[in-house]
């Protein structure tokens, strides 16, 4: 089986015991931490931001996989770089045109971060194709962004397969990340379709046995 990355989303964690929640990731053998940033404009809800990341980064020896679901992402890139993001993924739908998307990707790279581009479920997967040669991550949202605990959208599997086909055709090194409704049933389907990274929230943090559930995702 290929090397699959699990990126646990702390949106679903217990913030009152965040240190314990992060320790669960480490105990399970994880090396990534996913942070969802929502502004109440691009998506309905509001979550943590760059200041939160800045506070926790120095004490967390995990790869910070940051997904910004915000309007006007270009004005926030430097803030997340300084806050400690390793990967920074923004949304196709938050940009006015392809020129701006290329500009943001270049800006992310200029700060030494890896760049990711995400699409909502109703956006054609082909919209990502022009940027694959520059992207480190292509993120397929398998639920509507903005809220945890939603049901996996089955059509996402076709989108993952199409994206993987295009990546191989271009001989690109872009990793496919899938976010939303990931559990022990949907994880293997995503992996079979071509996913490299699984963003997992409620299935892990709302479970009685984080470590056991983490390992189930990799079977």
Which residues are known catalytic residues? Answer: 36, 179
- How many Å apart are CA 128 and CA 119, to the nearest integer? 8
Residue 117's alpha-carbon distances to 69, 101, 105, 141, 207, in angstroms, are 11, 9, 8, 11, 29
Our CA angle for 98, 148, 102, nearest 5°, is: 10
- How many Å apart are CA 45 and CA 127, to the nearest integer? 25
CB 61 within 8 A of CB 32: no
Could you tell me where the beta strands, DSSP code E, fall in the chain? 5-8, 32-38, 63-69, 87-91, 114-119, 137-141, 175-179, 197-200
Q: Residue 7 has which token pair? A: 């990126």
């Amino acid at each position: 089986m290929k090397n699959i990355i699990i990126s646990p989303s702390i949106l679903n964690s217990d913030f009152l015991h965040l240190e314990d929640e992060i320790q669960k990731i480490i105990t399970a053998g994880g090396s990534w931490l996913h942070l969802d940033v929502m502004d109440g404009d691009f998506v309905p809800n509001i979550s943590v931001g760059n200041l939160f990341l800045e506070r926790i980064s120095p004490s967390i020896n995990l790869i910070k996989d940051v997904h910004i679901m915000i309007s006007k992402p270009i004005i926030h890139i430097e803030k997340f770089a300084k806050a400690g993001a390793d990967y920074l993924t923004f949304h196709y739908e938050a940009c006015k045109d392809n020129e701006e998307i290329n500009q943001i990707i270049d800006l992310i790279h200029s700060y030494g971060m890896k760049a990711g581009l995400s699409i909502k479920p109703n956006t054609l997967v082909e919209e990502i194709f022009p940027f694959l040669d520059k992207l480190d991550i292509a993120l397929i949202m398998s639920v509507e962004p903005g809220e945890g605990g939603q049901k996996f959208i089955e059509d996402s599997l076709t989108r993952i397969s199409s994206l993987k086909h295009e990546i191989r055709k271009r001989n690109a090194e872009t990793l496919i990340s899938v976010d939303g409704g990931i559990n022990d049933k949907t994880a293997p389907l995503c992996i079979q379709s071509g996913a490299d990274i699984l963003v997992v929230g409620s299935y892990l943090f709302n479970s009685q046995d984080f470590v056991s559930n983490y390992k189930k995702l990799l079977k």
